[in-house]
Chains A and B, each alone.
Chain A
Amino acid sequence: MKRILSTASTEFRIALRNRWVTIALVLMAVFSLVLSLAGSAPTGGLGVDRLSVTVASLTSLSVYLIPLLALLISFDAIAGEAERGTLSLLLAYPIAREEVLIGKLAAHLAILALAVLLGHGLAAGVAIWSDQSAVEGLPALWRLSWSSILLGATFLGAGYALSSLSRRPSGAAGLAIGLWLGLVVLYDIALLAAIVADNGGWFTTEAFPVALIVNPADAFRLFNLTASGATAAAAGVGGAADAIPLWHSLSSILVWPVAALALAAAAFRKVTP
């Protein structure tokens, strides 16, 4: 336990000095403020409170931002140590590889959690300050907060796995960007294209819901939009999927962090320094 704590605090210190902490906090704070200020504009009698509107736009943003931040923080974790030569030293110490991963994860997840909570706190503050009824949106915001942290854990795990597989920081960075583009951007475009081509056939009714659930980023968006009953208001992929039960997306966002970390552990175990 002491070993994990020491690893975590060392990693946190490194992230602090490398400015990852600042970058994550500033990004989340700025985006949350901008979105909540935009969301506080008169909603035109839509019947939803302002915070809920902000939560919907924060959800769309987080789908891109959280995985990106998580991958940027994690891609160097193993490959960087391998390149510096400290990995062979670390593995000669009486610490299990899983403990190394858990220590790093604790630090990196803490950074993401801080950034998410700061951003969401600011958003809540702005919304409630300008409109008392916005407190009704707090449960939705809280749901967004913890699911964002889980999404972060998934992509941290993916980042460690890529870092272990490539063993060089430059290679790991490339793989991380590729994964982000693939899962967060291209995946949705491909799905939309397929739906349009399919025109309401088997793909749209059978394969599409599954495809949304298995992608952690889509599952995250779906979960938050379904839970707040906002799928109807949301455009694009989210709008096409209001028939999927909540527990499907919920299980996906709960299972993915565990799966990604198991994957990371398996990849790390194969690394020979």
Chain B
Amino acid sequence: MTSTLTISDLTKRFGEVAALTGVSLTVAPGERVALLGHNGAGKSTLMKIILGLIPATGGKVTICDAAPGSTAARRAVAYLPENVAFHPALTGEEQVRHYLSLRGERPRLAMGLLEVVGLAHAARRRIGTYSKGMRQRVGLAQALIGHPRLLVLDEPTSGLDPVSRREFYVLLDDLAAQGASILLSSHALTEVEARTDRIVILSKGRVVAEGSLADLRRRADLPVTLHVTARNGYATDIAQSLPGAIMVDGALHLTCMQADKLQTLGRITDLGDKVADLDVLPPSLEDLYSHFSQGNAP
């Protein structure tokens, strides 16, 4: 067994709606995979099938050599559903203690888990009094129970503030370093860009792109943007020698294809002293995402 999760040719239909079509995907131990896609692209559906909560229409899913929903698979997988709201009458600690018991772990570990997600101070308060982000943290705490081989997290950072998001990804790094596989969905592309090993873009239930960020950049072959700041008075000179450049807020903006990048850079260096500063901006994940999800897939 080399991969924790293997999905091959998975199809799911809800009556007329084709939620997933021919999805194949593998996740290796220690790998962090981000699932991106528009609303309704099929991310949550894919996750529910992996967990065995809903049956697939066709295709095959294996988790650590077990079928989705089997006891072995459920022992190995932790899940965080989207928009989960725990019972308002319980305290955070009571809720996590219960989940620990369900996994056959000692309930005493609850405080430690809540500390990890930064909720220790509110552990004895009822969940009904929690803020949205605090409720999300209860969900994260329960997903860390035991040593899951695979974490399936549906929009785990929704509702978290920027600092907590960063802490959350540090947590994931630790888990991945210990060999856990992570499959998460998100609409926050910038955080995904920095903190995951591989990106899978779903569009209308199909995988339209898959690979590391560098892979996707290469494949999309989107133009690179160059920002050139001229020394006082030389802006027009530079604009003349760089056809296609446009003035934006005192800097010259220029785009070129990946293949022409070095050549263009050479032309800029030739300008010598006239150039005060130069920034090279590769296409962002947002650009890649729109490129692939609008059906420009190769």
Residues of A that sit less than 8 Å from B by CB: 2-3, 5-7, 10, 13-14, 17-18, 84-86, 88-95, 272-273
Contacting residues, chain B, for A92 (C-beta < 8 A): 51-53, 74, 77, 79
Whether A3 lies near B102 (C-beta < 8 A) is: yes
Whether A13 lies near B90 (C-beta < 8 A) is: yes
Q: How far is the CA of A105 from the CA of B103 in the complex (A)?
A: 20
> Interface of chain A, helix or strand or loop or mixed?
helix
Residues of B that sit less than 8 Å from A by CB: 48, 51-54, 71, 74-75, 77, 79-87, 89-90, 94, 97-99, 101-104, 107, 126, 139, 142
CB < 8 Å A-B pair total? 76
Other-chain residue from B84, B94, B104 in contact with A89 (beta carbon distance below 8 A):
B84
Contacting residues, chain A, for B81 (C-beta < 8 A): 85, 88-89
Whether A272 lies near B53 (C-beta < 8 A) is: yes
Q: How far is the CB of A129 from chain B (nearest CB, A)?
A: 38
Q: How far is the CB of A10 from chain B (nearest CB, A)?
A: 5
Chain B's closest residue to A18 (CB) is B89
The answer to whether A85 and B89 touch (CB under 8 A), given A3-B101, A92-B53, A94-B102, is: no
Q: How far is the CB of B253 from chain A (nearest CB, A)?
A: 45
Q: How far is the CA of A93 from the CA of B76 in the complex (A)?
A: 10
Q: How far is the CA of A272 from the CA of B98 in the complex (A)?
A: 22
The answer to whether A273 and B90 touch (CB under 8 A), given A94-B74, A94-B75, A94-B102, is: no
Q: How far is the CA of A84 from the CA of B85 in the complex (A)?
A: 5
Whether B89 lies near A6 (C-beta < 8 A) is: no
The answer to whether A14 and B87 touch (CB under 8 A), given A2-B101, A94-B102, is: yes
Q: How far is the CB of A217 from chain B (nearest CB, A)?
A: 30
Chain A's closest residue to B74 (CB) is A94
Contacting residues, chain B, for A18 (C-beta < 8 A): 89
Whether A17 lies near B89 (C-beta < 8 A) is: yes
Whether A89 lies near B79 (C-beta < 8 A) is: yes
Q: How far is the CA of A82 from the CA of B94 in the complex (A)?
A: 20
Q: How far is the CA of A197 from the CA of B161 in the complex (A)?
A: 72
The answer to whether A14 and B79 touch (CB under 8 A), given A94-B74, A95-B102, is: no
Contacting residues, chain A, for B84 (C-beta < 8 A): 84-86, 88-89
Contacting residues, chain B, for A3 (C-beta < 8 A): 101-102, 104
Q: How far is the CB of A76 from chain B (nearest CB, A)?
A: 10
Given A3-B101, A17-B126, A85-B83; 8 other pairs, CB 8 A cutoff? A3-B102, A5-B101, A14-B90, A18-B89, A84-B86, A88-B81, A89-B84, A94-B71
Contacting residues, chain B, for A89 (C-beta < 8 A): 79-81, 84, 139, 142
Contacting residues, chain B, for A86 (C-beta < 8 A): 84-87
Q: How far is the CA of A95 from the CA of B84 in the complex (A)?
A: 19
Other-chain residue from A10, A17, A85, A88 in contact with B98 (beta carbon distance below 8 A):
A10
Chain A's closest residue to B48 (CB) is A88
Q: How far is the CB of A122 from chain B (nearest CB, A)?
A: 28
Contacting residues, chain A, for B54 (C-beta < 8 A): 272-273
Q: How far is the CA of A43 from the CA of B87 in the complex (A)?
A: 51
Q: How far is the CB of B44 from chain A (nearest CB, A)?
A: 10
Q: How far is the CA of A262 from the CA of B83 in the complex (A)?
A: 31
Q: How far is the CA of A176 from the CA of B112 in the complex (A)?
A: 41
The answer to whether A10 and B94 touch (CB under 8 A), given A17-B89, A88-B81, A273-B53, is: yes
Contacting residues, chain A, for B126 (C-beta < 8 A): 17
Q: How far is the CB of A8 from chain B (nearest CB, A)?
A: 10
Q: How far is the CA of A3 from the CA of B98 in the complex (A)?
A: 8
Whether B87 lies near A84 (C-beta < 8 A) is: yes
Q: How far is the CB of B108 from chain A (nearest CB, A)?
A: 13
Q: How far is the CB of B249 from chain A (nearest CB, A)?
A: 46
14 contacts between A and B (CB under 8 A): A3-B102, A3-B104, A6-B97, A6-B107, A7-B98, A17-B90, A84-B85, A85-B84, A86-B84, A86-B85, A88-B48, A89-B79, A89-B81, A273-B48
Q: How far is the CA of A77 from the CA of B130 in the complex (A)?
A: 23
